Chain A
Amino acid sequence: MKLEVGYIPIRDIQFGPTSKVDGNVLYVNQDELSRLLLQDEAIESVALDIARPGESVRITPVKDVIEPRVKVHGGGGIFPGWCAKVDTVGSGRTNVLKGAAVVTAGKIVGFQEGIIDMSGEGARYTPFSTLNNLVLVVEPKQGLAQHAYEKTLRLAGLKAAEYLGKLAADIEAEEVHTYETLSLLEGVRAYPDLPRVGYVLMLQSQGLLHDTYVYGVDAKQIIPTLISPTELMDGAIISGNCVSACDKNTTYHHLNNPVVQDLFAEHGKTLNFVGVIITNENVFLADKMRSSDRTAELCGYLSLDGAIISQEGFGNPDTDLIMNCRKIEAKGIKTVIITDEYAGQDGASQSLADADEAADAVVTGGNANEVIHLPAMERIIGSIDAVDHIAGGWSGSLNEDGTITAELQVITGATNELGFNTLSAR
């Protein structure tokens, strides 16, 4: 499977009479986009806003971040199973509005959404402070249940990203990256001397608003399987969950999976990147055992020499992470796991909920309990009143002057377990 990804750099977003990309500016017709989103009868109102890098802006409560992309050719459409039919994606040509994102905001649960600061201390921790963000604040019809609200907001974000992505269909890209995964046999022939490396991508599937979707299928219901890394770049996997903001893999993360990118960077040079195994993080023990068994079996079947295992969330999924690691290592396959830590505010407590001596190569995204101080912002997009209740906040986190003292947990994407950031801990 071979995919060309064309980057069209976006350096600003403006509202205007016609939605279009002109140079490096993305213009958005507010009325047209709002009307499109309001076709969903569950939505009472949509407010569109723009947050740019360096501005004194705080976006909260953030649910998801999505990058606008469009399928130029090669079959299927972006976000298969949602915005397109379920045809296989990952081949041909895809264009990306690089530097732009759709951010969805709304108080769904009240404590599982996050904060994106566009400047100040908080901006250092979230990768989304570097993007030009079109923010959708979606208010549901009265009485809409939380899980229905989640779905509504999820679809609104995907639709808006698809709407913007289409503006890039006929624009010449400034940069084109080509990614190719060979079939099993071709790979063996092409790189007979390179170590065979796979990527085990664990998808959040604890259920009850902790869900991820693959081609429209709830990942709770999948048996671990193989997927081409380029399928991720076309939105085959999307986020549908409300977990602690810091280690949630947003749809943006899935589209730009850093492990996939960095394995491709070494592909054919120091290693042979064989493919991606997706597995889940279900809460029942039988599911954990079945999924980790299947994952290890697939690694063995692919004759891997090494595997990188990434996680989403913490606590309960730590057990899935360790089971995967232990079972894959038991097959003689070397592993590196990527996780984050909950070592307490003082950093002195045990970091993970499970451990095993087989997990002797760990990359950490940092201690999510570490306390940070966020300055007041001139403008709030969304609503600030959830701050005391979100995971990582406490009664009094939001001070009267608008400053916030809270755990790093509250920042969207701060301790990402795909290794998206440079943050680490010792």
Chain B
Amino acid sequence: MKQIKVVHYLNQFFAQIGGEEKADIPPESKSGPVGPGMAFKGAFGDAAEIVATVACGDSYFNENPDVALAAILDMIASFEPDIVVCGPAFNAGRYGVACGAVATGVREKLNIPAITGMYVENPGVDLYKQSVHIVSTKDNAAGMRDAVALMVPLALKLARGEEIGTSAEEGYIPMGIRKNFFDKKRGSRRAVDMLLKKMAGEPYETEFPMPDFDRVVPNPAVKDISKAKIALVTSGGIVPKGNPDRIESSSASKYGKYDLEGIRDLDAQTYETAHGGYDPVYANEDADRVLPVDILREFEKEGKIGSLSRYFYSTVGNGTAVASAKKYARAIGEELVADGVDAVILTST
């Protein structure tokens, strides 16, 4: 196998140029490994060679981010590496931000894989964890050996274009993308082990950290419903018979827009549900049970509402990703506003 060419990015301190008094030096490069590069060289063995080290002062980088990054990327590109290793930066904030920015720039602008390592609370983590693999390290340089042990195998895999395992398997900070893998123990055993640790007050790691939920505040009430144009929108899957848009029974990839012009009542001959999460018998018998067109037509005639909007929108809520639902809601919302709709009745199942 061909030997992999590595470029290593360091700050002024780890590149042995100087301490804080040298933090304003612009980027420079040297051939071969420097400082922590020696530990990486040992771990890479014959598989890879650090051909050059690029260093920059932390203050210089953070005060001149665009100029510094452009200069660093030019230097890196000139060595034609297969992979770029940045840091690790441990809990050094400015260094972490620089490592994240350089690694991301290398990936996105040079199309070369890159990797870095940081302590989980380093501000660089939140900025760059979604764009680059950041190996989780201790908060100071005493964790160098552990960091190198995780970064080297991951760097080799990235350089070779091999499949990368999950964050739990490879030791990087979760990138916010959920990915399946087969664990060593079954789930029930993992639950028992986790509970024993939690009851004993010992540290444990949840397999799914709870997300921050966005709560939607309801709009104020409609002032005069008898003048309002009302639209119907449902996640209950009501579609014209035969499901012309083939909306999926679960994990819907689309929504449908259907014309209600001249329709007073939904019946079993013309409408049905595409939803796979509930017994469809009653919805198929009479789709008004989910999408109340019949009642709204009555209300329209009696003047209880202004009018029923011409189109209804439908998708399937069953197992559909929140991100998809948000996307459909945005698109549907724009059309409703353009159509002059005053209020929407949202029906779920």
- Using a CB–CB cutoff of 8 Å, the interface residues on chain A facing chain B are 109, 111-112, 124, 145-147, 195, 197, 206-210, 243-244, 258-259, 261-263, 265-266, 270-271, 305-308, 314-315, 334-336, 338-339, 341-352, 354-357, 359-370, 389-395, 407-409, 416, 418-426
Please report the C-alpha to C-alpha distance between residue A393 and residue B323 in the assembled complex, in whole angstroms.
Answer: 19
Per the bound structure, the CA–CA distance linking A362 and B182 in Å amounts to 16
**Chain B residues at the A interface, C-beta cutoff of 8 Å:** 166-168, 174, 176-192, 194-196, 198-199, 204, 206-211, 213, 246, 248-251, 253, 276-282, 317-324
Q: How far is the CA of A179 from the CA of B279 in the complex (A)?
A: 39
- A283 to chain B minimum Cβ distance, whole angstroms, is 9
* Chain B residues with CB below 8 A from A409, complex form: 250-251, 319
Other contacts beyond A262-B188, A395-B248, A426-B178: 10, CB < 8 A: A207-B279, A210-B279, A244-B250, A262-B189, A308-B191, A336-B198, A351-B178, A360-B206, A361-B206, A422-B183
B158 to chain A, nearest CB (A): 18
* 8 Å CB contact of B188 from A261, A305, A346: A261
Q: Which residues of A contact B177 (CB under 8 A)?
A: 346-348
Q: Is B194 touching A361 in the complex (CB atoms < 8 A)?
A: yes
**In contact, B319 and A421 (Cβ under 8 angstroms):** no
Instruction: Tell me whether A419 and B276 are in contact in the complex, defined as CB-CB below 8 angstroms, given that A270-B196, A362-B206, A367-B179 are known contacts.
Output: no
Also in contact, A341 and B208, with CB within 8 A (given A258-B186, A422-B185): yes
Residues of A within 8 A of B321 (CB): 342-345, 349-350, 369
Alpha-carbon gap, A394 to B174, bound state (A): 30
Question: Is B188 within 8 A of A361, CB to CB?
Answer: no
Q: Is the CB of A364 within 8 A of B322?
A: no
Which residue of B181, B206, B246, B279 contacts A395 across the interface (Cβ within 8 Å)?
Answer: B246
Most chain B Cβ neighbours within 10 Å, of A265, A339, A425: A425
B189 in contact with A425 (CB, 8 Å): no
B211 contacts across to A, CB distance below 8 A = 350-352, 355
Instruction: Establish whether residues B195 and A391, one from each chain, have CB atoms under 8 Å apart when the complex forms.
Output: no
Bound state CA distance, A361 and B196, in angstroms?
A: 11
Instruction: Give the residues in chain B near A421, CB-CB below 8 Å.
Output: 186-187
Contacts of A206 in B (CB 8 A): 278
25 contacts between A and B (CB under 8 A): A109-B279, A146-B279, A147-B281, A195-B196, A195-B199, A197-B195, A244-B250, A259-B192, A262-B186, A334-B198, A336-B198, A348-B176, A348-B177, A349-B323, A365-B187, A367-B178, A369-B251, A369-B321, A394-B246, A394-B253, A423-B181, A424-B180, A424-B190, A425-B178, A426-B167
Contact A419 B191 (CB under 8 A): yes
Query: Bound state CA distance, A418 and B188, in angstroms?
Result: 6
Q: Shortest beta-carbon distance, A257 to chain B, in Å?
A: 8
Q: Which residues of A contact B280 (CB under 8 A)?
A: 109
Docked Cα-Cα span, A365 to B248, in Å, equals 23
Q: Which residues of A contact B248 (CB under 8 A)?
A: 393-395
Residue among B180, B184, B211, B323 having the largest count of chain A Cβ atoms under 10 Å: B180
Say how far A387's CB is from chain B's closest CB, in angstroms: 11
Residues of B within 8 A of A362 (CB): 206-210
- Does B249 contact A111, Cβ atoms closer than 8 Å? yes
Give Cα A50 to B224, complex, Å.
Answer: 66
Give A32 Cβ to nearest chain B Cβ, in Å: 34
**In the bound complex, CA of A366 to CA of B189 (Å):** 15
A208 touches B278 (CB 8 A): yes
How many angstroms from the CA of A247 to the CA of B317 in the assembled complex? 17
The residue among A348, A393, A420 with the most chain B CB atoms within 10 A of its own CB is A348
Residues of chain B contacted by A423 (CB below 8 angstroms): 180-183, 187
Q: Determine the chain B residues whose CB is within 8 A of the CB of A420 once the complex forms.
A: 186-188
Min Cβ gap B132→A in Å is: 16
Interface contact A424-B183, CB-CB below 8 Å: yes
Give the complex CA separation of A75 and B63 in angstroms: 80
A329 to B177, CA, bound (A): 28
Q: How far is the CA of A368 from the CA of B277 in the complex (A)?
A: 14
- Chain B CB count within 10 A is highest, among A124, A243, A350, for A350
Contact A364 to B207, CB < 8 A, known contacts A306-B199, A420-B186: yes
Verify B251–A338 contact, CB threshold 8 A.
no
Q: Which residue of B lies closest to A342 (CB)?
A: B319
Q: Do A355 and B323 have beta carbons less than 8 Å apart?
A: no
Chain B residues with CB under 8 Å of A392's CB are 250-251, 319
Asked if A344 contacts B324 (CB within 8 A), the reply is yes
A394 to B323, CA, bound (A): 18
Q: In the complex, what distance in Å separates the CA atom of A316 from the CA atom of B253?
A: 20
Closest A-B pairs by Cβ, 5 of them: A419-B187, A419-B188, A344-B321, A208-B279, A391-B250
A360 to B320, CA, bound (A): 24
How far in angstroms is the closest Cβ of chain B from A126?
Answer: 13
* Interface pair B279/A209, CB less than 8 Å apart: yes
Name the CB-closest residue of B to A195.
B199
> Does the CB pair A341–B276 fall under 8 Å?
no
